[in-house]
Chain A
């Protein structure tokens, strides 16, 4: 499989009144066609900001370091995403080759414009097609994501649909331009479990059908286990562990990932008490020195944790973790 997007040394800071805040620090990963990557982390971990960087969608006060590089591979050649400046150039990453599904579908649709009109508008923008053709594709897509009466729904407003329907419509809209990469930012968090299960099934079907790459951002490790091929775990802007989904969930290597998994209430074991990760996530204004997790870590190995940022250690070919409990320098 060929590479779809490569992120190299992405470092992103925000200019604020309190000074520069590091939101993402030196994050690298790549995604192949047809691959589903789960991006996991708590609020403030930088997962959404990373995803928005892929579409060059962060606010104007975002500063990227010169080493940061995001390369998107399209049929027309490579696109250096961060070097795009004009809105017209950015269309390729905004709705063209990359689409995004947001957490709250009600906030993502314009409330006073029908669903259909919004779908047609973006198709005409990206596809250079007639209105009739765009409508045909839109209705087809609504039907494909399991919306009954697609013709009727096409002329309805977002508020007339239920939560699950809205999220389906959002997915239909994101996929109608046939993107190569779909970024789904907590797409099921606002939904009930029964509807979440339906949406997860739908997304799995769509990956098989359209063969696109998906970056699935979530804080729910259960959702990741059900959808992703590989997982990246972020904490305070650092990528602290990545690997195939089975390995990360069954044998987590970083103390934070281990803590997250043991904090989860499990249904097959009601007797064991819940073990929280101690303490609170530090504010990005007070980023800890050394390993950013050391303030909450139960496995501190020495002063190195407080002074030096650990480098990623390769546990095997595809599984790595950035923690001082692993030997420095040489990788296994």
Chain B
């Protein structure tokens, strides 16, 4: 394992048991056999439709859902944990190192706490500071980095707009000085004019504090502008992963291509030229055989229905794709 990898997942699976009783047991595999590396100091994007398992994978890396198969190795230079087995004091320590920024800044902040208390809570719960003065110091420091001023700290969340609330959520996530931050749809609930501001702030904080970000989003244009590396998920599988520029210039998986062409173009004269994907993502309890995407793929052949493709290297620079036909499909395009 190279030194600049922060998290390396190997064959990671997360399954949930649904249905009760002896004979009705069914396992829903939300994340299935995912192998991926997240480099230290990178902005790693994870995209896919709802139901693709992107949120579950993010939570697995935070150890917020049980990992039911495979391994995930976290190594930040100070400690090294296997997230599949981590427990007890190690898990407690990992909680300081890995944090989550939520989607909805209106639901994530307690209306009864002042902004100062909201940001200070993780410090108090994890016992990271020894005195109130020290806590205040840390809160002020991180608040300033998130462009919140002293006067803001005394107020309650209701007095803030969406963008300001999201900055409070970010400050709260970063106050424990984490190394790894999962941002789950963190700008999806914001207006466009504010969204750019929060994205710029996240990038700035990542650079200044040397953070590693996992940025989960359904919005490909946002991902294109913020992330260094992107992974695309479909029904719990990783179907394609590549450095951002490579992916946006030369996507190889038919699903990734379809996702790109579904983005509404800003050009009013460019209507209806997109390659449209038929149907919807199948239910994870009733998954297709073979390649999970074959039911919607315009290029599916018999082999796709029976044999599941594995991630293979498309080039030496980290572009990987899981499709039986990506080589032949590249030719016409």
Cβ-defined contact, A280 with B224, below 8 A: no
* A276: B residues at CB distance < 8 A: 193-197, 200
- Looking across the interface, which residue of chain B has its beta carbon closest to that of A259? B193
* B328: A residues at CB distance < 8 A: none
CA distance A261 to B196 in the complex (A): 11
Cβ-defined contact, B262 with A194, below 8 A: yes
**Given that A162-B280, A194-B259, A265-B224 are contacting pairs, would A222 and B265 also be in contact in the complex, using a CB cutoff of 8 Å?**
yes
- Looking across the interface, which residue of chain A has its beta carbon closest to that of B260? A267
Question: Chain B, 180-215, contact with A by CB distance < 8 Å: what is the 0/1 string?
Answer: 000000000001111111011000000000000000
Q: Does B78 contact A (CB under 8 A)?
A: no
Cβ-defined contact, B225 with A265, below 8 A: yes
A-B CB pair tally, cutoff 8 Å? 126
Q: Does A126 contact B (CB under 8 A)?
A: no
Question: Chain A, 214-258, contact with B by CB distance < 8 Å: what is the 0/1 string?
Answer: 000001111101100000000000000000011001000000000
- Looking across the interface, which residue of chain A has its beta carbon closest to that of B261? A197
Q: Does A192 contact B (CB under 8 A)?
A: yes
Count of B interface residues, CB-CB < 8 Å: 45
Choose among A193, A220, A264 the residue with the greatest number of B CB atoms under 10 Å from its CB: A193
With both chains docked as a complex, state the minimum distance between the C-beta of A16 and any C-beta of chain B, in angstroms: 14
CA distance A197 to B276 in the complex (A): 7
**Given that A225-B268, A265-B222 are contacting pairs, would A194 and B193 also be in contact in the complex, using a CB cutoff of 8 Å?**
no
Question: Chain A, 193-224, contact with B by CB distance < 8 Å: what is the 0/1 string?
Answer: 11111101100100000000000000111110
Question: Is chain A's binding surface mostly helix, strand, loop or mixed?
Answer: helix
Q: How large is the interface on A (under 10, 10 to 19, 20 to 34, 35 or more residues)?
A: 35 or more
Cβ-defined contact, A260 with B280, below 8 A: no
Q: Does B271 contact A (CB under 8 A)?
A: yes
Q: Does A277 contact B (CB under 8 A)?
A: yes
Q: Does A275 contact B (CB under 8 A)?
A: yes
**Given that A276-B196, A276-B200, A280-B194 are contacting pairs, would A225 and B225 also be in contact in the complex, using a CB cutoff of 8 Å?**
no
* B277: A residues at CB distance < 8 A: 194, 197-198
With both chains docked as a complex, state the minimum distance between the C-beta of A106 and any C-beta of chain B, in angstroms: 13
CA distance A154 to B145 in the complex (A): 54
15 cross-chain CB contacts under 8 A: A42-B194, A163-B50, A193-B262, A194-B49, A196-B262, A197-B264, A198-B278, A201-B272, A204-B272, A223-B264, A276-B194, A276-B197, A276-B200, A277-B194, A281-B161
